[in-house]
Structures are given as structure tokens and as C-alpha cells.
Amino acid sequence: MYICVCHGISDKTITKLAIHHGAYEIRKIRQLTPLGSQCGKCVRPTKELLQKLAADHLLPQAC
Ligand code: FES
């Protein structure tokens, strides 16, 4: 499922970046992708996804 429709960034891509590349904060995701740089509607769902991953103990800390 696309989280960022403007740039075609999926929840799987964000999950992979967070778990395997240490991008577990929205700031780090935005350094690696153009997420949120157009309409910005994807920022909140991305934060929620990162919080869910953290709650599931898949990340070192919440964003
Ligand atoms: S949905 Fe991500 S910038 Fe528009």
C-alpha cells in the first residue's frame, strides 16, 4: 500500500528503511526519500507506521 502517493513510496519501503537501514525517525526517512515534500499528507501515516513498528518492538525507539 502506498503511504506517499505523490512519490510512490509504500509502507513496505518505509518498513524496510526503518528496520534494515536505521531510518526509524521521520527525519531520517525524509533524508532518504522525498516523502512529504509535495502535499505532505503522508507524514502523519508514516509517523503512525513508525510508532506501530516501535510498539511491536521492531525499532530501537519511537519517532
Ligand atoms: S502523499 Fe507524500 S507528499 Fe503527497
What local confidence, expressed as pLDDT, does residue 63 receive?
A: 47
Say yes or no: CB of residue 33 within 6 Å of ligand 1: no
Q: Are 25 and 47 in contact (CB under 8 A)?
A: no
CATH number of 2-55: 1.10.10.1100
Q: Which atom of ligand 1 is nearest to the CA of 34?
A: 3
Residues 10-45: tens digit of each pLDDT = 999 999 999 999 999 999 999 999 999 999 999 999
Q: Are 47 and 55 in contact (CB under 8 A)?
A: no
What local confidence, expressed as pLDDT, does residue 60 receive?
A: 72
Domain boundaries, the chain: 2-55
Pocket test for ligand 1, best of 1, 4, 44 (most atoms within 8 A of CB): 4
What local confidence, expressed as pLDDT, does residue 59 receive?
A: 81
DSSP 8-state secondary structure symbol assigned to residue 5:
T
Of the pLDDT bands very low, low, confident and very high (cuts 50, 70, 90), residue 61 is low
Q: Which atom of ligand 1 is nearest to the CA of 36?
A: 3
